[in-house]
Amino acid sequence: MGLCFGVRDAIRLAHERAAAGPVTILGDLVHNETVLADLRARGALIRHDPADVPTRDVLITAHGASDRRIASLRTSGLNVIEATCPLVHRAHQALRRLVDGGFHPVVVGQAAHVEVRGLTEDHPGCEVVLSEEEVDRLPERPRYGVVSQTTQPVARVRELVDRLARRFPASEVRWIDTVCQPTKDRQNAAEALAGRCDVVLVLGGAHSNNTRRLVDTCRSRCARVHWLQSAADLDPSWVRATDIVGITAGTSTPDSVIDAVEAALRALAEPAEPARAEAA
Ligand code: SF4
């Protein structure tokens, strides 16, 4: 598992643009420090404030941005390059369809996450929920239209949509499933892996939402789960000689990080070299 096609393509585009001339990436291209350090080394600038972009070319991350944000960047004279994942685009289109159909928009996701901000900014009054309590605070409306952040666990999204529908039986609640397939594949694989391992190592950036979700999923099936950002975080005391150890990784974790952790684990598993008898 690990890196998804959306992140892989965004990184490739950022490398190409950085090689072609000065470029600023608006926000963290992916939530992974190894990838960001490599981009900086290639000359790309990373800025979080749209008012603080010193180059003409500005790259939107795989998480996407609202139409409003992109229009404002263009109006200020910037050349906008979109590395937005097509599956994030699909979520934007789904929410637009619901709003155009007269549904009040709801996004299941983390309100502060850049992808969720991109989804909601074009829809004033859009609700963002992530817990039962937040669903219970919504007012009754005749029609609710729901999508989710692409990296939420689909079972959790379904639970919250069902709760909303039960709460307002007279309302029409329509849900378009926008959880991306790579997220679903990784969640299913992590669950199966955790069910047959003594220890699971989940690799991914500290701010990566999909890595956090993988950790939660693994913890539901395995008691010993550790979240690592790189091989340097591996603590040999976590594993015992007879353990079966599983490794999985978030969608923004580069192959090099996964390979390094696997190599470190295999080195731990090598039998110690027997002490040589001293020559008589
Ligand atoms: S996690 Fe899903 S939506 Fe996000 S970049 Fe990867 S494929 Fe695209």
Report pLDDT for 278.
Answer: 47
- Residue whose Cα lies nearest atom 2 of ligand 1: it is 180
Q: Which of 70, 85, 100 is the last residue of a domain?
A: 85
* Spatial distance between the Cα atoms of 172 and 114, rounded to a whole number of angstroms: 29
Residue 237 within any structural domain of the chain: yes
200 and 216 fall within a common domain: yes
Between the CA of 84 and the centroid of ligand 1 the distance, in Å, is 9
150 and 121 fall within a common domain: yes
77 and 103 fall within a common domain: no
Q: Which of 54, 85, 116 is the last residue of a domain?
A: 85
Report pLDDT for 271.
Answer: 63
Report pLDDT for 29.
Answer: 87
Report pLDDT for 75.
Answer: 95
- Identify the residues whose C-beta falls under 6 Å from ligand 1: 4-7, 62, 85, 87-88, 150-151, 180, 182-183, 210, 251
Ligand 1 atom, smallest distance to 85 CA: 8
91 and 170 fall within a common domain: yes
Residue 279 within any structural domain of the chain: no
Between the CA of 181 and the centroid of ligand 1 the distance, in Å, is 8
Between the CA of 89 and the centroid of ligand 1 the distance, in Å, is 10
Q: Say how many C-beta atoms besides its own lie within 10 A of residue 176's C-beta.
A: 16
CATH code of the domain covering residue 160 = 3.40.1010.20
Nearest CA-CA partner of 29 in 14, 49, 50: 14
Report pLDDT for 279.
Answer: 41
Residue 280 within any structural domain of the chain: no
The string of DSSP codes covering the chain is --S-HHHHHHHHHHHHHHHHS-EEEES-SSS-HHHHHHHHHTT-EEES-GGG--SSEEEE-TT---HHHHHHHHHTT-EEEE---HHHHHHHHHHHHHHHTTPEEEEES-TTSHHHHHHHTTSTT-EEE-SHHHHHTSPP-SEEEEEE-TTS-HHHHHHHHHHHHHH-TTSEEEE-----HHHHHHHHHHHHHHTT-SEEEEE--TT-HHHHHHHHHHHTT-S-EEEESSGGG--GGG--TT--EEEEE-TT--HHHHHHHHHHHHHHHSPPPPPPPPP-
80 and 123 fall within a common domain: no
CATH code of the domain covering residue 73 = 3.40.50.11270
Residues recognised as catalytic: 115
52 and 128 fall within a common domain: no
Count structural domains, the chain.
3
* Spatial distance between the Cα atoms of 37 and 44, rounded to a whole number of angstroms: 10
Between the CA of 59 and the centroid of ligand 1 the distance, in Å, is 17
Ligand 1 atom, smallest distance to 115 CA: 4
Q: Does residue 24 come out as left (phi exceeding 0), alpha (psi in the -120 to 50 range) or beta? A: beta
Residue 217 within any structural domain of the chain: yes
Distances in Å between the Cα of 28 and the Cα atoms of 39, 109, 184, 254 are: 10, 18, 23, 15
* pTM, rounded to two decimals: 0.86
- Per-residue pLDDT 10s for the chain (280 aa) are 788 999 999 999 999 999 999 999 999 887 777 888 999 999 999 999 988 999 999 999 999 999 999 999 999 999 999 999 999 999 999 999 999 999 999 999 999 999 999 999 999 999 999 999 999 999 999 999 999 999 998 999 999 999 999 999 999 999 999 999 999 999 899 999 999 999 999 999 888 888 888 999 999 999 999 999 999 999 999 999 889 999 999 888 888 899 999 999 999 887 655 555 444 3
- Residue whose Cα lies nearest atom 8 of ligand 1: it is 6
* Spatial distance between the Cα atoms of 73 and 71, rounded to a whole number of angstroms: 5
Q: Which domain holds residue 57?
A: 5-85
- Residue whose Cα lies nearest atom 5 of ligand 1: it is 6
Report pLDDT for 35.
Answer: 83
77 and 91 fall within a common domain: no
* Spatial distance between the Cα atoms of 168 and 139, rounded to a whole number of angstroms: 9
Report pLDDT for 161.
Answer: 98
